[in-house]
């Protein structure tokens, strides 16, 4: 049934947008949290897994779920010897988070989520309308 395929797509879209929002809010939350000296700085990123080859052949029934993963990020160095997280040179390291970028990701995820819901509602309305085909008025 084609409708189920569309439903599956909408489900995936909703989940992925939620993951994107999650990754963005995590990054915003940790933008001003110093990393321990010598530790790698990381930021979160939402990932939509690609379709496996077996899936494309139609022999695998693996369900795809988007997930949030961590990727290496640049650093932002601030000189503050008073900070307990400062290294030997008095430098504190923060992950480099592009605030404007994260904010636009938030808005974009929110809007895409709305679009997904709208698509679902439209499909639902069309299904209900099709049930009325041939109805006596």
- Which residues are at the interface with another protein (CB under 8 A)? 7, 10-11, 14-15, 18, 120, 124, 127-128, 131
Residue 92 C-beta-side C-alpha neighbours within 13 Å: 14
Q: By the 8 A CB rule, do 25 and 105 touch? A: no
If the CB atoms of residues 7 and 31 are measured against another protein, the closer one turns out to be 7
If the CB atoms of residues 80 and 127 are measured against another protein, the closer one turns out to be 127
CB of 66 to another protein, least distance (A): 12
CB of 137 to another protein, least distance (A): 14
If the CB atoms of residues 6 and 71 are measured against another protein, the closer one turns out to be 6
Q: By the 8 A CB rule, do 94 and 78 touch? A: yes
Could you give phi then psi for residue 22, rounded to 5 degrees? -60, -45
CB of 116 to another protein, least distance (A): 8
User: How far is 83 from 86, CA to CA, in rounded Å?
Assistant: 5
User: How far is 23 from 40, CA to CA, in rounded Å?
Assistant: 18
CB of 30 to another protein, least distance (A): 23
């Amino acid at each position: 049934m084609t409708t189920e395929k569309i439903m599956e797509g909408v489900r995936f879209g909703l989940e992925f947008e939620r993951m994107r929002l999650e990754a963005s809010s995590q990054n915003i939350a940790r933008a001003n949290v110093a990393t321990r000296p010598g530790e790698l700085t990381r930021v979160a990123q939402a990932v939509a897994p690609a379709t496996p080859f077996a899936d494309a052949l139609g022999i695998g029934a693996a369900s795809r779920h988007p997930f949030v993963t961590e990727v290496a990020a640049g650093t932002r160095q601030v000189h503050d010897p008073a900070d307990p997280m400062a290294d030997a040179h008095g430098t504190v390291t923060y992950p480099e988070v592009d605030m404007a970028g994260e904010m636009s990701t938030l808005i974009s995820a929110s809007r895409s989520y709305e679009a997904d819901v709208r698509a679902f509602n439209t499909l639902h309305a069309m299904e209900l309308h099709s049930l009325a085909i041939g109805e006596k008025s």
